[in-house]
Amino acid sequence: MKLLKQDIKNYWFGLFIAVMVCVILDRIFGTCCPLRIVTGYPCPACGTTRSFEALLRFDFKTALWYQPVMPLIIAYCLFFSYRRYIKPDERIKLFGGAMAAIIIIGILAYFYRMYRYFPERPPLEYTQNNIINQLRRVCHGI
């Protein structure tokens, strides 16, 4: 519990800032995804929030659709929390490798899903109101 309190004390402000930036971007652009805001294309993490919301409703099929690696993310978080706060383990480097594997699997799933489902099915849709499109309109006087 001491380590948990220390982590909260060390990281609460950074987490608060990240949440606030996301809320502000969402208010302005309708999303907090930097890639979608700039290019209009979804990134591998797009749909994660909607996946988590579906999980809270116990709608596992929808959760998997929005973020196929969600089970891996949850397993990672549970295992990481267990090893950090309940039964500490010095082999913390293993967690970095597991995180890298989850990211690689997520990126591979993203390319497959982009090939298969883009742009018809959310979260794999194109957002017209993006910065590059706005600049293009300004430059061409549209």
Give the interface with Zn ion as residue ranges (CB under 5 A): 33, 43, 45-46
Min CB(35)–Zn ion separation in Å:
5
From the CB of 120, what's the least distance to Zn ion, in Å? 17
Q: Which is nearer to Zn ion, 43 or 131 (CB)?
A: 43
- Minimum distance from CB of 36 to Zn ion (Å)? 5
Residue with smaller CB distance to Zn ion, 2 or 27: 27
Choose between 88 and 119: whose C-beta lies nearer to Zn ion.
Answer: 119
* Cβ proximity of 62 and 68 under 8 Å: no
CB of 43 to Zn ion, least distance (A): 3
Q: How far is it, in rounded angstroms, from Cα 13 to Cα 35?
A: 25
Q: How far apart are alpha carbons 48 and 55 in whole angstroms?
A: 10
DSSP string, 103-133: HHHHHHHHHHHHHHHTTTSTTS---SS-HHH
Extract the tokens encoding 19: 């949440």
Measured from the CB atom, is 22 or 79 closer to Zn ion?
Answer: 22
